[in-house]
Every structure is written in structure tokens, then in C-alpha cells.
């Protein structure tokens, strides 16, 4: 197929844009400055707070539409906006696709808001640590009942926790689908940005991915997503499953 000069899928144009060092510096400066104002907290999806950058939501929409998963497992629920976001995409796809949300603490008001939402029938909540054996077993049971499984990791952002999540949940992802790890951008942010957190540069999802990919050959970073987003909380975090 011949691509036009404005075709959004044109890899040459995307590569050229990603190679523009001035643009990359501007994007990084914009990202760091917006973090000072908790920019990702500005948005909602279908009435629910969704703590993500809009660029990452667009990327996730593209992935879900392409993969058409039967099951999306997400660790880290917060207010539930991302669960509803995925549920709305699955609703558009039709079928019986569902979302499994896992969090060590699902606060009552957040649970109530999720369960009252019109798309709640596609969402199941599990309270417990994402690396707890019984919680992983519940996720694995549902994964065995699905043909295409996608996993999103967005809970505790320490190296140790994310690496363990990667080890436990990567086997559930089906070939051609994605394992997405959010907040890898922590590695490229100043340590002062996390004064009250147990993670930071050198101890975060990006370092966990680096360790994970040293031994796991089922996944590869989808570099094209990084190239076209420019602004993302998950650079290097979009992992495509390339083998059974």
C-alpha cells in the first residue's frame, strides 16, 4: 500500500520525528514541567478520574483495537478510570471481553463509583497484593478462559515489585498481545520528584524491565510507540509478546 505524506502510520515520518533532538528536548522539558502540576490528574474518562497522559491513552486504544483482547488484567486501580477506559473499548469491540482490576487496597468510595458505572458489568475487582499467590491464581484462572490476554502493570513502582509482577503475569500474555508497564519515566526524572516514595531513579519500572528482558525472550519493546508518542509516562514500557 502506498502511504501519503500525512499517513499516521508512516514509519519513516515517525522515525524522522523521533530523531529530532530539539523536539525530544522540548518534549522532555514539557513532561518534567507538567509533572510539577500533576498534569496526569487533570482528566476523566466517561466520568471517572483516569490518571494518565492523554498520549498514553491513545496508544492503549490503538493496542486494544489491534489486539482485541478477551481479557485485560490491570494491577493498580486507583479511582478506576483506566478500568472503565478499557471496558469502554471492549464494549465497542463487542463480545464478552472483560477487565480484571487488582489493587492491594480498593477504597470503598472508588469501588462504589466503579460498580455504579454503566460499564461495570465488564469489570471485576480483586483486592489484594498483585504479587500474592492467591491473587495471581485468580488472574491465571481467568486468563486460561480467554484466547487473547493483555496485561497492564501500574501498581507499586519499585524495581523489586514490578520485576516480580513481570515474572508472575508475563506468562498470562498471549502471543501478539502486550504487557504494558507504566511509569518507566521515573528513571528519567529527578530524585527530588519523589520525596515521599520508595521508588525513584535506579529503582523503578524501567530498571525492572531491563532486568526482565535480560532473561525473557517472549517480549520486545515496541519502539514505534515510543517514537510517535514523544510524551509518555511509559517510555520503553510497551512490551509486545513475540513468542508463545
Alpha carbon distance 120, 113 (integer Å): 9
Q: Give the pLDDT of residue 196.
A: 87
**What does each of the 244 residues of the chain score in pLDDT, given as a tens digit?**
334 444 566 889 999 999 999 999 999 999 999 999 999 999 999 999 999 999 999 999 999 999 999 999 999 999 999 999 999 999 999 999 999 999 999 999 999 999 999 999 999 999 999 999 999 999 999 999 999 999 999 999 999 999 999 999 999 999 999 999 999 999 999 998 888 899 999 999 999 999 999 999 999 999 999 999 999 999 999 999 999 9
Strand partners, 220: 240
What's the alpha-carbon Rg for the chain, to the nearest Å?
A: 18
One-character DSSP codes across 48-90: EE--S-HHHHHHHHHHHHHH--SEEEEE--TTSHHHHHHHHHH
Contact by Cβ (8 Å): 85, 60: yes
Q: Give the pLDDT of residue 213.
A: 98
Indicate the length of the chain as a whole number: 244
Q: Count CB atoms within 10 A of the CB of residue 53.
A: 21
Alpha carbon distance 56, 79 (integer Å): 17
Q: Which of 84, 92, 102, 104 is nearest to 43 (CA)?
A: 84
Q: Count CB atoms within 10 A of the CB of residue 190.
A: 10
DSSP 8-class letter at 176: T
Alpha carbon distance 44, 41 (integer Å): 8
Q: What is the largest CA-CA distance in the chain?
A: 53
For the record, the C-alpha cell of 76 comes out as 493498580
Q: Which of 241, 239, 235 is nearest to 180 (CA)?
A: 239
Q: Which of 21, 57, 17 is nearest to 238 (CA)?
A: 57
Backbone dihedral angles phi then psi of residue 152, each to the nearest 5 degrees? -125, 125
Complete domains list, the chain, with CATH: 11-241 (3.40.50.150)
- Residue 104: CB partners within 8 Å, gap ≥ 6? 127, 128, 129, 130, 155, 156
Amino acid at each position: 500500500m502506498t502511504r501519503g505524506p500525512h499517513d499516521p502510520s508512516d514509519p519513516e515520518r515517525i522515525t524522522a520525528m523521533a530523531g529530532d533532538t530539539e523536539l525530544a528536548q522540548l518534549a522532555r522539558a514539557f513532561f518534567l514541567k507538567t509533572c510539577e502540576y500533576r498534569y496526569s490528574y487533570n482528566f476523566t474518562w466517561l466520568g471517572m478520574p483516569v490518571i494518565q497522559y492523554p498520549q498514553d491513552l491513545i496508544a492503549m486504544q490503538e493496542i486494544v483495537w489491534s489486539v482485541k483482547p478477551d481479557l485485560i488484567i490491570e494491577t493498580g486501580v486507583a479511582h478506576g478510570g483506566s478500568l472503565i477506559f478499557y471496558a469502554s473499548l471492549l464494549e465497542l469491540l463487542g463480545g464478552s471481553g472483560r477487565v480484571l482490576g487488582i489493587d492491594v487496597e480498593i477504597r470503598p468510595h472508588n469501588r462504589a463509583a466503579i460498580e455504579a458505572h454503566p460499564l461495570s458489568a465488564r469489570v471485576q475487582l480483586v483486592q489484594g497484593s498483585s504479587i500474592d499467590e492467591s491473587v495471581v491464581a485468580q488472574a491465571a484462572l481467568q486468563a486460561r478462559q480467554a484466547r487473547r490476554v493483555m496485561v497492564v502493570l501500574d501498581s507499586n513502582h519499585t524495581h523489586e515489585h514490578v520485576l516480580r509482577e513481570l515474572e508472575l503475569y508475563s506468562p498470562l500474555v498471549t502471543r501478539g498481545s502486550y504487557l504494558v508497564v507504566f511509569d518507566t519515566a521515573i528513571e528519567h526524572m529527578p530524585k527530588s520528584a519523589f520525596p515521599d516514595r520508595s521508588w525513584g531513579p535506579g529503582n523503578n519500572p524501567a530498571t525492572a524491565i531491563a532486568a526482565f528482558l535480560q532473561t525473557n525472550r517472549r517480549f520486545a519493546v515496541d519502539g514505534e510507540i515510543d517514537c510517535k508518542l514523544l510524551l509518555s509516562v511509559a517510555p520503553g514500557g510497551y512490551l509486545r509478546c513475540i513468542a508463545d
